[in-house]
Amino acid sequence: MAAQLQKAQGLGGADGRTATTAMCAAWHVSTAAAGANDAVKSAVPVLILAGQFDPVTPQAWGARLLRTMPNARFVQIPGQSHGAMFNRCGGQLTLAFLRDPGAPLTLDCIAKMPGVVFSGE
């Protein structure tokens, strides 16, 4: 948790609804196992949606998953914040992916969003 509070980690930080580092110390919460924060490695098809202005899980965190997940696809939703799948375009992409995880994504809805200069998969 202390690492998430560092500015070097991007816009992320501790969620105000979770326990603080002081609470964990007071409750004597033990440190997580060494591998608890290792990158997920999987060949399962995954759709990663990121909001352009997400202050909780910055785009770089989602894009970093592509390194260890060869069948993952990353899509940035322009103008959106946290919960990028909860808008019309994000919902369309999610449903299309769930119907056929191996099919190419149609990013027409991204291209039509205001302020989009370039889109691609």
- Domain range summary for the chain, segments of one domain joined by +: 1-38, 39-113
Strands (E), the chain: 46-51, 72-77
CATH fold label, 39-113:
Rossmann fold (3.40.50)
pLDDT at position 20 over 80: no
Residue 18 has pLDDT above 80, yes or no: no
Quick one: DSSP state of residue 34?
G
Q: Quote the percentage of the chain above a pLDDT of 70.
A: 79
The most confident of the ranges 23-27, 52-56, 75-79, 117-121 is 75-79
Say whether 49 sits in a helix, a strand or coil: strand
Contact 78, 51 (CB under 8 A): no
